[in-house]
Structure 1
Amino acid sequence: MVTRGEKFTREHRLTTQSDFKRVYQVGKKLYSPFFILYLAPNHLRHNRLGVVASKKIGGSVVRNRIKRVVREAFRRYPCQREHGLDMVVVSSPSIVSLDGGQVAELLIKKLNSYYQSERV
């Protein structure tokens, strides 16, 4: 069971269309065969996440499973830095072939590569 401190709260979500647009326009794109990860700095001290799963991926059951898996990876592996990031994960149809652990591993790998490239 998820404890209160581990919940994926509203403050950790991208909720408005303008939030998504800003990340798409000013964010950096990181490509994977399974998703595209958009990252843009925000003015907060925590990260926020938005997940996009189009109908190309499958029916609602499949799309919602993908969203849950991505949110769980984000919730379990928070990357705490002094400035937060807004992240949008745009899933591709091939993500369906992965299990939750593989998705989490790929997301963490992409985030770590972003942080290392930004440090330089």
Structure 2
Amino acid sequence: MSESLKKNADFQKVYKTGKSYANKYLVMYIINNGLKGNRIGISVSKKVGNSVVRHRVTRLIRESYRLNKQHLKTGFDIVVIARNSANGKGYNEISGAFMHLSSLHKIKM
């Protein structure tokens, strides 16, 4: 089971109380959610690019999570923020950045 974070209040809670790590392309905030599965929220600001670019980056991040979720521990709210440098990057760079942050947060099994 994995859902997405949709409410602004959920995002704010993760930002305020979560721990964050960043790399070249992404920033990742994580808190325990006390549930059986993970919930993921993705934020891509207008600074990254126009709507086409932002949606593409969002899809790449979501796909990185979907294909790697069997390697991640469960019970976390995860918020991933794309940085400007994520614009124009391919799946391999984004996925590598996602897994790098997962291992820094020690949620990678």
**Does TM, scored on the shorter chain, surpass 0.5?**
yes
Aligned counterpart, 2:19: 28
TM-score, length basis structure 2: 0.89
Question: Greater helix percent: which structure?
Answer: 1
Q: What SS is found at the alignment partner of 2:34?
A: coil
Aligned residue number for residue 96 of structure 2: 105
2:98 match: secondary structure: helix
RMSD: 1.6
Which residue is equivalent to 1:3? none
Larger Rg computed on CA atoms: 1
- Consecutive unaligned residues of structure 2, counting only runs of 5 or more, are none
Does 1:53 find its partner at 2:44?
yes
Residues 26 and 98, structure 2, Cα contact 8 Å, conserved in 1: no
- Give the % identical residues: 29
Higher relative contact order (CA 8 A, sep 6+): 2
* Map of 1:5 onto structure 2: none
Gaps in structure 1 of 5+ consecutive residues: 1-8
* Cα separation, 2, equivalents of 1:25 and 1:59: 28
Structure 1 residue runs of 4 or more that deviate by more than 4 Å after TM superposition: none
Aligned residues: 106
Higher strand share goes to which structure?
A: 2
Normalised by the length of structure 1, the TM-score is: 0.81
Structure 1 position 104, deviation (Å):
0.7
